[in-house]
Chain A
């Protein structure tokens, strides 16, 4: 359809100017958004690579389970730090693209948006781990508890170090540093598995639990500091 024809049609249907529009719009309350719809809206804004990376890890795990059987745990624990990177990069996305000022003008605060996205990613990774832990444990001599520890430790280690780095340096380069960190942790994990498989023996279980507890505490601490920094950032921009 030609533009002038469409324009003529639009004009033909044009009513006289409404007289009480502005008064009416001022009086009506804006509809509130529920927590679920807010979370769903935020999930739509998560970059595609987040979904692709999680899917890829599941595919690698399935591939490993089918062809390598016993080595599936090693493969999954090597690739799991890359899933953790998405949490960190999402956390600082508005900073690295210098969008904080614009997000301040939006309907929701930057803090609530970041928290919502982190929450969605947390749930996504929880589902991912709930799938990977039994799968890895099934083809390995390690128990479910051990498998959980061997997957959670590199995952949380990546998040803790990544959050610390991004808290200190909130620029686009920090994203590449995080990818480097996850690659390093992944490499170290693979190195330990190959050279020192002794650390995966049952007698070291307590040490693994201790490391996990320390990492959980450090992750919570880093998250708290990160949230506080987001609030400070908003104040600085005001």
Chain B
């Protein structure tokens, strides 16, 4: 497993969940530390599912905690500004999708996670994953002008 590549993907996933750079990075690191503590998972495979499961649980914990202790708003960095400018249309369109659909698209297309792994991360059947992905893409394409992205 390429730790560097997986770090970026888990970080992307955590940032999607929390929308907070520092927290997302803390949780990414915590995810890897917990993952490496569990030796048996390193040996038996299914590493990706395990990583995402840890990240998901840690994000849920952090989200609950952040409700009690509200986090200070972060100023967007230069990178963030560029990113916001380039992807502003798609981001706005994505916001119109449900949270679950967004997560599905993130896992499938941004993090390029395999369908079988997505099934176990999101606790869905293969058929449901396919159906929801197609529905989300169609919805997204309808929101974005069809001539641009179809």
Please indicate the chain A residues that have their CB under 8 angstroms from the CB of B15 in the complex: 15-16
Among candidates B3, B28, B32, B87, residue contacting A12 with C-beta atoms closer than 8 Å: B87
Q: With CB as the reference atom, state the residue of chain A lying closest to B106.
A: A13
**Known pairs A5-B149, A8-B90, A10-B109; A16 contacts B12 (CB<8 A):** no
B interface footprint on A17-51 (CB within 8 Å = 1, 0 otherwise): 11111001100111100101100000000000000
Q: Is A6 an interface residue when CB atoms closer than 8 A count as contact? A: yes
Using CB atoms and an 8 Å cutoff, list the residues of chain A in contact with chain B.
1-2, 4-6, 8-21, 24-25, 28-31, 34, 36-37
Q: Is B150 an interface residue when CB atoms closer than 8 A count as contact? A: yes
Pair B25/A14 contact, Cβ less than 8 Å: no
Q: Is B98 an interface residue when CB atoms closer than 8 A count as contact? A: no
Q: Is B61 an interface residue when CB atoms closer than 8 A count as contact? A: no
Pair B25/A11 contact, Cβ less than 8 Å: no
**Among B21, B86, B109: residue with most chain A CB under 10 A:** B109
Q: With CB as the reference atom, state the residue of chain B lying closest to A15.
A: B15
Min CB distance, A3 to chain B, in Å? Answer: 10
Pair B43/A29 contact, Cβ less than 8 Å: no
A interface footprint on B102-126 (CB within 8 Å = 1, 0 otherwise): 0001100110000000000000000
Q: What are 19 A-B pairs with beta-carbon distances under 8 A?
A: A4-B149, A5-B150, A6-B109, A8-B87, A8-B89, A9-B90, A9-B109, A9-B110, A12-B87, A13-B12, A13-B94, A13-B109, A15-B15, A17-B79, A18-B8, A21-B8, A21-B11, A29-B36, A31-B42
- Name the interface residues of B6-50: CB closer than 8 Å to any CB of A: 7-8, 11-12, 15-16, 21, 24-25, 28-29, 32-33, 36, 39, 42-43
Please indicate the chain B residues that have their CB under 8 angstroms from the CB of A5 in the complex: 141, 149-150
Bound complex: CA A1 to CA B94 (Å):
16
Among candidates B7, B83, B86, B109, residue contacting A25 with C-beta atoms closer than 8 Å: B7
Bound complex: CA A34 to CA B8 (Å):
27
Q: How many A-B residue pairs have CB under 8 A?
A: 89
Pair B90/A16 contact, Cβ less than 8 Å: no
**Known pairs A2-B149, A10-B110; A16 contacts B80 (CB<8 A):** yes
Among candidates B33, B76, B140, B149, residue contacting A28 with C-beta atoms closer than 8 Å: B33
Q: Is B72 an interface residue when CB atoms closer than 8 A count as contact? A: no
Min CB distance, A34 to chain B, in Å? Answer: 6
Q: With CB as the reference atom, state the residue of chain A lying closest to B90.
A: A12
Bound complex: CA A116 to CA B130 (Å):
41
- Name the interface residues of B44-92: CB closer than 8 Å to any CB of A: 76-77, 79-80, 83, 86-87, 89-91
Among candidates A11, A20, A37, residue contacting B86 with C-beta atoms closer than 8 Å: A11
Please indicate the chain B residues that have their CB under 8 angstroms from the CB of A24 in the complex: 7, 29, 32
**Known pairs A16-B83, A25-B4; A11 contacts B24 (CB<8 A):** no
Pair A25/B90 contact, Cβ less than 8 Å: no
**Known pairs A10-B110, A16-B21; A34 contacts B43 (CB<8 A):** yes
Q: Is B137 an interface residue when CB atoms closer than 8 A count as contact? A: yes
Bound complex: CA A24 to CA B83 (Å):
24
**Known pairs A1-B137, A37-B43; A14 contacts B149 (CB<8 A):** no
Please indicate the chain B residues that have their CB under 8 angstroms from the CB of A9 in the complex: 90, 94, 105, 109-110, 140
